[in-house]
Structure formats: structure tokens, C-alpha cells
Structure 1
Amino acid sequence: MNHLCFIFLLASVAYGYNPEDFIHAFGATNYGFWGATEACKNGSYAYGFQLKIESEHGAFTDDTSVNAIKLFCRDPSGVDTGEVTSSVMSFGSWSTRRTCQDGSYVRGYMLKSDGTSSDLTAANALRMWCSGPSGEELIEPGNKWGGWLDRADCGGDKVICGLMTLVQESQGSFNDDTALNDVRFLCCDPPAVV
């Protein structure tokens, strides 16, 4: 078992989460450290997201792209219960909020990842899908680098209720920063119908 998977299993158990309740699309870069799992308040679920993105700087300047993912949470009655993030890097600014329709929650995702450029940018964009019959797609296009990893969805009727992110800390002035490298989303049993 590779050591990153082992560390993830230890961190999940230490925080009281079953590792099988996380979804993950393999193939992202793996620089940095996994942050703590952050979950929506009990009885609430993620209905949207926002990315902290550093815009492209051009040649001869280090780029990072995605620096953080924020989830927006609400309960089954539609009351906003706050937001959650895991590890966050300091570059960039927050994008537009992307949200599901009322009564719907996010249940799947695809991450766009760059692991081959000379200036690695790691995570570059995010797509998420909403629950319900429409299966609405939410997309934050981010930056141009990389390719889309496979889609990962919560099993059965479960929906996303939290996340943990793999973020590389600042590498200093003359080194390549990647910021957010990877994400695992926590899935929870669906809300009761109101």
C-alpha cells in the first residue's frame, strides 16, 4: 500500500470517519500534506462550491491555479448552515459560487489536474454534479493546464457532506509552488424528505 493511502487511512480513522465514505479520483499530483476533514454541520449537506484560484501570470513567473475548495452547506429545510474548507494556500481569489437548485445537493465530481507542465500547477478546475433527476452539472473552469481525471460519485443515494484536501505549502521565491493537489470528498446518507 503506498504511504499516502496509509496516511489517509490513519487520518480518516483518527477523525472518526470511515475511509470508505470518501470518494476520490486517482491520477492527481501528490505534493504536500492532507489537511483535516471538514464536514457540514450534522444534518446538513453540500449544495455548492467555490474555488480560490490564482490567475495565470505568464512566462517566467510561477503559477499555482487552484489554492482551495470551499463547500456551501444547507439542511433539508433549505437553511444555510455555513461553509467548510480543508487546507488552504494563500494565492489567488475566490471564484463565483456554483450551487445546485433548491432541494438538491452535490454528489459527484471531476478534478482537472496538471502533472506534466514544466511549471506544475496541480489542480486547475472542478466540475460537480447535483443530486436529483436533473443531475445538473456545476463547473468552475479555472485555468487552462492539465486534463480531467475520471468522475467519482457518492454511492447509492449518498451526497457530499465534507472534504479533505492535499495542499503543498509555499516553496519559497525560486521554487515551483503547486498549492492544491488533490481532494477527497466525504459522502453521507441523504437527507430525509421534508
Structure 2
Amino acid sequence: MCPEGSYATGFSIKVEPYQGLSNDDTALNGIRLHCTQGGRGDKHQDHTVESQSGMWGKWLDPIWCPPGGYLERFSLRVEKTRSGLKDDMGATSIRFACSGGENLEGHGLAWGEYGVWSPRCKKGMCGIQTKQEPPRGSLRDDTALNDVRFFCCNH
């Protein structure tokens, strides 16, 4: 959860790049909220919050709402489960809508489809909870991040 009096004005994601045809892909491994007490002007004083994150990939640079804006809803891109010996990835990217109407899209992988937009958090987003598949071991298909829930601010 964001510290008291702050809310998410930006986000960053942890992504494993495409591994090629014969290697296991996990795509989206983590999401961080960057909480501030104002707009982008104080982004250097942000407090980062995250839930569980997968072990693969690297954290990308934060993406911020315009000054004075905050994250108020999201849509998760997910690849559907593939049958047989196919490589499942789970979540592949995420996008957010800012309070001023701007949309911000993470630089995840392009596979899958975006779901419907979440309900709007009128006072911004303040918390995050992710659903992760634990590593399954060698020669097994891993997916990492599979779902996310954000909590709306009360203040």
C-alpha cells in the first residue's frame, strides 16, 4: 500500500523479453506502483510499492501520469492458455488510465489481448496485489504473473 497521504502517479513493470522458439517465456513478471503526494513534480520523492514479482526479466523505467495526474484504472493484457506442448505466458503487459484522461501503456510483450478497463478509482490507486505462479523447475512451462488487483485510495 502507498504511504498515508500518497497515491500512485506512475508505474513500472518487470518484463522478460521474448526467449525464442525453443525457450520458455514468462513475459510480465512484476508491477510496481510509484506513489507520491502530488503530481509528477515530486517524482524523485516517490515511494515504490509492489506485491510478489517473478524471478525473470528486468525492471523497466517508470511511466508517469502528467503533472497533477494519478492512476485511476487499468487493463491487463493476457495471453490465453494454449493447449498441448505450447509455451504459456500468462500476463504480457498492462495499461493504465490517468485522472486527466491520458492512457499509459507498459512496454511488455505484444501477445494476448487487453481485458476490459477496471472500474475507476475516483481518489486514485493506493495498493496492489498480484497472483504469481511459482517457478516450476527445469523443462516445465512457467508463466510468472497471472493476475493483479489494485486497491482504491480512501483519502
Scaled by the length of structure 1, what TM-score is found? Answer: 0.73
Separation in 2, partners of 1:82, 1:159: 15
Q: Structure 1 residue 103: deviation in Å?
A: 1.3
Separation in 1, partners of 2:52, 2:73: 20
The gaps in structure 1 that reach 5 residues or longer are: 1-38
1:74 to 13, 19, 36: 36
Residue matched to 2:72: 107
The gaps in structure 2 that reach 5 residues or longer are: none
Separation in 2, partners of 1:54, 1:144: 12
Deviates more, 1:79-88 or 1:101-110: 79-88
Equivalent runs, 1:28-177 vs 2, <5 Å? 39-76=1-38, 79=42, 80-117=45-82, 118-132=86-100, 135-155=101-121, 157-177=122-142
Equivalent runs, 1:16-35 vs 2, <5 Å? none
Instruction: Tell me the percent identity.
Output: 38
| Per-residue deviation, residues 47-74 of structure 1 (Å, max 9, x unmatched) | 0111100000111110000000011000
Separation in 2, partners of 1:106, 1:76: 12
* Aligned Cα root-mean-square deviation (Å): 1.5
Separation in 1, partners of 2:138, 2:6: 41
Deviates more, 1:49-58 or 1:108-117: 108-117
Scaled by the length of structure 2, what TM-score is found? Answer: 0.90
